[in-house]
Amino acid sequence: LLMTPCLSSLRSRSRSFLYSRSRSRSFRLQVTSPRRTGPWLDSSSFPETETETETGFFSPSPAEFDDVTGVAASSETETEILKRASTFATDEKHNENVLETESSSSSSSSKMCLPRHVAVIMDGNARWARRRRVPTLEGHRRGRDALRRLVERCAEEREIHALTAFAFSDDNFRKRPVHEVDALFRLMEASLREERPRMLRNGVQIAFAGDIDALPASLAMLCREVEAEAEAHAAASSTPSRLLLTLAMNYGARQDIVDAARRLVDMAQRGELAADDVDESLFRSALGTSKATRHAGDPDLLVRTSGEQRMSNFLLFESAYTELFFSDVEWPAFDDVCFDKALHAFSTRTRRFGGRNDDKHETRE
């Protein structure tokens, strides 16, 4: 009895909390004391949730802490401990988002210099799925949802006129497992049929780049129908489209350049142009992305997700002076906060196009 107040006081003073997160998605809450430390809660007990941080890791919710530990409600000290620890865990994503928002709030999208043409390499669907031990197709479904979010966001920004998305490369077509490619084609076809009326209502015009004819017949026919319908709707509308969305499907930039050269050679053989007629502007018009570049110029900003830092045979001709932004976030987790970060980075860059801002002397142009 004499020792009880001392032990209670020591217990309340010595408890501290250490919440750590590793890249292996393990979450461990530790209670440390002056004499020993040790794991209190282990990550293997946590069910996966849909709460994510910017790097794609999970954050356990308060209910999960309670379910795992089974702490009785009558144990006041333990309940308070769990409440504080779970609040820290679930608020982590919110705090990171607040920091991101605050860092860019000083220059909102209405004040920033925004790109007219945005391109995106949507990388990381399969990695996102493997991280969560779900089928790869589920990663592609979540990637489709991320593209829908980005399209809606770009359509809201008056300065952004075009979005070009790398949906499927010609290398993917040749090198990915057949069952994965077939499932992805079915998802693409179902998504196009679902999104088709919504795009028209929201003033989003859809175009395609790449070898569409090599796709399955039903998907290729649907792509042609959607593109023709979008063009007819844009021509009949009294207001211009809010956004031109170009989906690069079965696309490779090198092959697109070769195909453009062949088109110009055919025109020259038919006597429709001379060698001196070929310049950058004419060559650009022969590329599969010509509709987007006519509408909004070459891409001003190219975003690639999932931590990779390469072009992967995407828009090689069009991206000569494009600003590049690489995000560690896997594509299905790419949200408005991540896009705001890319826009903020773009607004801070100085684009010289080979010149200098302080050049005062006469140039050859």
Residues in Cβ contact with 148 at an 8 Å cutoff, skipping those fewer than 6 apart: 195
Inter-residue contact 118 to 160 (CB < 8 Å): yes
Q: How far is CA 64 from CA 83, 85, 156, 251, in A?
A: 11, 12, 37, 44
CA distance 196 to 174: 28
Q: Which backbone phi and psi does 29 adopt, to 5 degrees? A: -105, 125
Which residues carry out catalysis?
123, 172
3-class secondary structure, 215: coil
CA distance 86 to 25: 16
CA distance 78 to 95: 25
C-beta atoms surrounding 208 within 10 Å? 23
User: Which amino acid does the sequence have at 192?
Assistant: L
CA distance 214 to 156: 34
Which one, of 197, 163, 156, 149, lies nearest residue 291 by Cα? 163
Q: Which backbone phi and psi does 58 adopt, to 5 degrees? A: -90, 155
Q: Specify burial of residue 311 (Cβ count, 10 A radius: 0-12, 13-18, 19+).
A: middle
Which one, of 267, 234, 170, 50, lies nearest residue 275 by Cα? 267
The two tokens of residue 364 are: 């050859």
**Strands of 323-326's sheet in order across:** 204-209, 243-251, 162-169, 117-121, 301-304, 323-326
